[in-house]
Amino acid sequence: MYVVDVVTLSPEAVDRALQEGVVGRARQRQLVRLRLWDLREFSRDPHRKVDDAPFGSGRGMVLMAPPVVAAAEHAIEARQGGPPPRVLITAANGRLFRQETARELARHPGGLVVVCGRYEGIDARVAPLLGAEEVSIGDYVLSGGEAAALVVVDAVVRLLPGVLGDPESAGEESFERGAALTRGGLEFPQYTRPRRFRGLEVPEVLLSGDHGAIARWRRLQSLRLTLERRPELLDAAGLSQEERALVEQ
């Protein structure tokens, strides 16, 4: 079974948040095992302190290396062998976490350890000591790594074999390079019943039953949205000359 370890100062909050929806069902069906490790349990301080002031001065506090390394190593040892997990540290200054990162992690036979930062971050020696990758979920600063860990775990778990049923399947989606229509770009708009709502109609082509026409319309919509909202993804979306001319009209 795929194992995810999360090292955090808020194990109960992370556990609660991951009891719902697709991840919660995957846990119940034993497609993934999630283990929470309370960082304070690994402090050697009588007051369970895990942070200290930064060397070189500056505001805020930094998570100390010893408890973080001890917690992550304990989580890894608790796996009792098998292929080593990928270890991620949440960090605003990390490499951007993308859909392809989630795909790689979901394929990794050793599963995943996520270490959540807090305060001004984690002592920089932790990443090399653990062989960890620092990942950011976007260009903004959160107050703690727990929200980022939830994002990472959700994005990975939904890609594990057997987790998604057909109606939620992870094929034709935004950012999926392997998808026939989106090809790494943004997904086309979706509609469901009723056909008319407050004067707005579902596009006629979606009711036509002509699968070729629907696929062409969706590809065009995907390209238009990508051009409008995320133009930097267009190259990845594999635009033909003809399509480029079409969307730029």
Task: Of 202, 177, 204, 181, give the one whose Cα is nearest residue 192.
Answer: 202
Task: Of 150, 9, 14, 5, give the one whose Cα is nearest residue 74.
Answer: 5
Q: Determine, following the binding rule CB under 6 A, whether residue 200 of this chain makes contact with ligand SAM.
A: no
Q: How many residues does the chain have?
A: 249
Q: How far is the CB of 185 from ligand SAM (least distance, A)?
A: 23
Q: Determine, following the binding rule CB under 6 A, whether residue 138 of this chain makes contact with ligand SAM.
A: yes
Q: Determine, following the binding rule CB under 6 A, whether residue 8 of this chain makes contact with ligand SAM.
A: no
Q: Determine, following the binding rule CB under 6 A, whether residue 90 of this chain makes contact with ligand SAM.
A: yes
The residue range among 26-34, 85-93, 161-169, 235-243 that interacts with ligand SAM, by the rule CB under 6 A, is 85-93
Q: How far is the CB of 85 from ligand SAM (least distance, A)?
A: 18
Helix (H/G/I), strand (E/B), else coil: 139: coil
Cα Rg, the chain, nearest whole Å: 22
Of the two residues 138 and 238, which places its CB atom closer to ligand SAM in the complex? 138
Bridge partners of 90?
135
Residue 115: its H or E element: strand 112-115
Positions touching ligand SAM (CB under 6 A) are 90-93, 116-118, 120-121, 136-138, 140-145, 148
Binding residues for S-adenosyl-L-methionine, as ranges, are 117, 137-142
